[in-house]
Structure 1
Amino acid sequence: MAAIDDAPIRLTQFAAGGGCACKVPAGQLEEVVADLIGVPHPDLIVGLDAGDDAAAVRIEGDRAILSTADFFTPVVDSPYDWGRIAAANALSDIYAMGGRPIMAINLLGWPADLVSADHVREVLRGGLAVGEQAGCPVVGGHSIAAPEPLYGMAVTGIADPARLMRNDAAEPGLPISLTKSLGVGVLGNRHKATGEVFPQAIDSMVTLNAAAAEAALAAGVRACTDVTGFGLLGHLWKMCRASGVGAVIDRSSVPVLEGTWESLAAGYVPGGSRRNLDGVRPHLEAGAEVTEDELVLLADAQTSGGLLVVGEVPGAPVIGHTVAVPPGTAPRITIR
């Protein structure tokens, strides 16, 4: 991989963490919002309860409005690619629930005295390009001065409330599919440390989850989430807990981006990925043959990752299955 030699400013050097790895740890976040669910509203279909990807509110008998927001620090040095990645990541929350994005607005934080206006323009141009690809207007937004660059979007979508894919709708005895390969967190950490560019990671992160969501809906899928900052294991655990099911993951079936294992062996691991593993470890059952590196990869903090689907999606690998939980016991994730 070629090193960056034509970018005097490396955006990743302005951020303590990169991409979705900069998320507040899941356990800490849940503690903060535990008492903030609010008074039930008759039109609220999906709220904070199950930790789903977006909120859903019924506005008509056959239509629901979806709303989400997502932003993060630079995951790559290219401002245009960062804009594209952040936009694809924000739109993903709508796709993960079976919706169609209809409008987005920009969310921008910028250290104005440190990075030029040209970089800001390229970030926004990248976001606009992905919005156009998705058929979703990107109109205006809000900006602040900030010590680290921050970019993302607030996205509004629409969906059929009877066909929503939800975090709490998984049933036992069904296959689990994953629509993108893991490893962008590890490769992003290496990129930040060395300046090496990994086109396979960028290509994965800018790929919209629109087609995967359409395929899942066509297959009658009811349970889905996207894999982002809490890693495959973190997001799977949230789904298992919300649905009251367990899961078995076949680690050899999980797709992995080229260069990930070598980067992992060389020590390029985001701090967020290790925090993810620490948080979910009490809920895991891993055989003696499962290595620590494999667990770290399964917990790797992804940015604009794929859909984690309870069901089969054409073209996506099946990586495991859901299982019933005996009465009176907590859900577990078994890795074999």
Structure 2
Amino acid sequence: MDQIRLTQFSHGGGCGCKIAPSVLSKLLAHAPAGIVPPELLVGTETADDAAVYRLNEHQAIVATTDFFTPIVDDPFDFGRIAATNALSDVYAMGGRPIMALALVGMPIDKLPPEVIGRILEGGASVCRDAGIPIAGGHSIDVLEPIYGLVGLGVVDPAQVKTNAGAQAGDVLILTKPLGVGILSAGLKKGVLAPEGYAEMLRWTTLLNRVGASLAGMNGVHAVTDVTGFGLAGHLLEICRGSRLGAQVSFDALPKIDTAVQLVRDGIATGASTRNWASYGGEVRLAADTPEWQRKLITDPQTSGGLLIACAEDSVEAVLAAVREEQGNEAAVIGRMVAGEPMLQVA
């Protein structure tokens, strides 16, 4: 097991292997229109984090799926990161997870059973931490290792948090620091120090539990999680869905120190470049903005934090909830403004 590096099988790891936003838009543009029953409260309209289907007046099902190729070499850590990332979409809708199904694709001729078993153990450990069972799943024999979950949760239909409800004047809060994609690039290049790897694990295995608590806060108007499209990409989804602009202070962004050092040395993911090519026309940066700052706001986050738009008088309550539920500090990074859907970073 010690001689096997899972990332050697990956053409792109974690949420960095997501299809680029511009390519995804083209693919979905040709998808036929499906059935949209009145019970489907959240579907594909605004590229939200999960689907929400109303069962009755007080209950709705939150359903999502997420899987990817290895972002780290340790199989147990890979399983933990993938499971944490998958459950994040349920939390982002204000939901409380109730169970999961495992999605497993493995090159059976290249990985011994004990390695695959450790991946599954890692995912199961996160689900136990979240208080839910893995109640089934599906497995196939493929060329690259793939692992993830179908996440199922429940939420009160009146308390669903989407990415389309932000209001002008809302304050933006980010619950985890940026830089996971940069750390993963450093790991693959063999330049990530042990303390950098520890930081990577700390944030990618931290469940976004606070999302379930945000559901009951009327002052919270929109929520999404920051994953493969980077902070800029997912904030633009809030802008488009809410028909507003956003202003962000780069200095206010929480950043992983090791990631800042690496990106200033020129280490970043190819997905960051693809992200910028997809939506850079909707982002306004100062003329003298260094490239490393652009790389950071487009950096694909695997199991990233929640991005929250809330009324100004709810900021302290949101920050306190993050502290209580997850034990970490969140950061105020900007606000929503009236105007065309675009992002200004100062």
> What's the TM-score bracket when you normalise by the shorter of the two chains?
over 0.9
**Contact preservation (8 Å) 1:179, 1:212:** no
1:215 CA displacement: 4.7
SS in 2 for 1:222: strand
- Work out the CA distance in 2 between the residues paired with 1:258 and 1:219: 34
Mapped pair 1:317 → 2:312: no
1:37 CA displacement: 4.2
**Contact preservation (8 Å) 1:167, 1:224:** yes
- Work out the CA distance in 2 between the residues paired with 1:74 and 1:333: 31
**Contact preservation (8 Å) 1:20, 1:303:** yes
- Work out the CA distance in 2 between the residues paired with 1:28 and 1:272: 12
Mapped pair 1:202 → 2:201: yes
Mapped pair 1:256 → 2:266: no
Q: Give the gaps of 5 or more residues in structure 1.
A: 1-5
1:261 CA displacement: 1.5
- Work out the CA distance in 2 between the residues paired with 1:167 and 1:211: 16
Mapped pair 1:20 → 2:19: no
Alpha-carbon displacement from aligned partner over 1:191-234 (angstroms, at most 9, x marks no partner): 11217441001110000000354257446312000000000000
Partner of 2:101: 105
> What is the TM-score of this pair, normalised by structure 2?
0.91
- Work out the CA distance in 2 between the residues paired with 1:319 and 1:294: 15
Equivalent pairs, count: 327
SS in 2 for 1:177: strand
- Work out the CA distance in 2 between the residues paired with 1:97 and 1:73: 25
- Work out the CA distance in 2 between the residues paired with 1:205 and 1:217: 25
**Contact preservation (8 Å) 1:184, 1:303:** yes
Partner of 1:115: 111
- Work out the CA distance in 2 between the residues paired with 1:215 and 1:241: 22
**Contact preservation (8 Å) 2:40, 2:54:** yes
Pick which of 260-269 and 42-51 moved more: 260-269
Identical residues among aligned pairs (%): 43
1:253 CA displacement: 0.4
- Work out the CA distance in 2 between the residues paired with 1:201 and 1:43: 39
Partner of 1:3: none
- Work out the CA distance in 2 between the residues paired with 1:216 and 1:252: 29
- Work out the CA distance in 1 between the residues paired with 2:149 and 2:267: 28
Which AA in structure 2 matches 1:22? C
Alpha-carbon displacement from aligned partner over 1:36-77 (angstroms, at most 9, x marks no partner): 442321111000111100000000111100100000000111
Alpha-carbon displacement from aligned partner over 1:23-45 (angstroms, at most 9, x marks no partner): 01111112211244423211110
- Structure-2 change in CA distance of 1:249 and 1:123 (3 Å): same
Which AA in structure 2 matches 1:123? I
SS in 2 for 1:290: coil
Spell out the pairing of 1:297-336 with structure 2 (5 A cutoff). Answer: 297-311=296-310, 312=315, 313-314=318-319, 315-325=329-339, 330-336=340-346
Alpha-carbon displacement from aligned partner over 1:139-161 (angstroms, at most 9, x marks no partner): 22111011100000001110011
Partner of 2:27: 32
Spell out the pairing of 1:1-336 with structure 2 (5 A cutoff). Answer: 7-34=2-29, 35-194=31-190, 196=192, 197=194, 198-211=197-210, 213-215=212-214, 217-218=216-217, 220-311=219-310, 312=315, 313-314=318-319, 315-325=329-339, 330-336=340-346
Alpha-carbon displacement from aligned partner over 1:286-321 (angstroms, at most 9, x marks no partner): 112422210110010000000000023214110000
- Work out the CA distance in 2 between the residues paired with 1:37 and 1:60: 25
Pick which of 132-141 and 178-187 moved more: 132-141
- Work out the CA distance in 1 between the residues paired with 2:218 and 2:38: 29
Pick which of 211-220 and 237-246 moved more: 211-220
**Contact preservation (8 Å) 1:216, 1:309:** no
Alpha-carbon displacement from aligned partner over 1:121-170 (angstroms, at most 9, x marks no partner): 00000100000000111122111011100000001110011111101111
- Work out the CA distance in 1 between the residues paired with 2:32 and 2:133: 31
Partner of 2:323: none
> What is the TM-score of this pair, normalised by structure 1?
0.94
**Contact preservation (8 Å) 1:183, 1:260:** yes
- Work out the CA distance in 2 between the residues paired with 1:17 and 1:187: 13
**Contact preservation (8 Å) 2:160, 2:215:** no
- Work out the CA distance in 2 between the residues paired with 1:56 and 1:219: 19
1:247 CA displacement: 0.2
1:285 CA displacement: 1.1
